[in-house]
Amino acid sequence: MATKAKSTSLCKWKKLEIEDNLKLLQKLINQPQFVCKKCCRAANSKKNLCKALAI
């Protein structure tokens, strides 16, 4: 059963959300410009991370 990502913050995504939303995840991280200071996830936009830091 597919789940829809509940949050725009990748930091809050659970494992099942990541597995079920790989296409969306690929769009959000294909050219990372920011990294989260808390969990080290990377994303194109700082709005997709909880504690974004430009890289």
Each residue of 14-47: pLDDT tens digit? 999 999 999 999 999 999 999 999 999 999 999 9
> What DSSP state is assigned to residue 9?
-
User: Does residue 4 have a pLDDT over 80?
Assistant: no
The whole domain housing 49 covers: 31-55
| 48 lies in some domain | yes
> What DSSP state is assigned to residue 7?
-
| 5 lies in some domain | no
Q: How confident is the model at residue 10 (pLDDT cuts 50, 70, 90)?
A: very high
Other beta carbons within 10 angstroms of residue 35's beta carbon come to 18
| 8 lies in some domain | no
More confident residue, 29 or 3: 29
| 11 lies in some domain | no
| 51 lies in some domain | yes
Compute the C-alpha angle 3/21/26, nearest 5°. Answer: 170
Of all residues in the chain, what percent are helix, strand and coil, respectively (each to 5)?
A: 35, 15, 50
pTM attached to this predicted model:
0.80
| 45 lies in some domain | yes
Give the C-alpha distances (Å, rounded to integers) separating 54 from 43, 45, 51. Answer: 10, 9, 10
Structural domains counted in the chain:
1
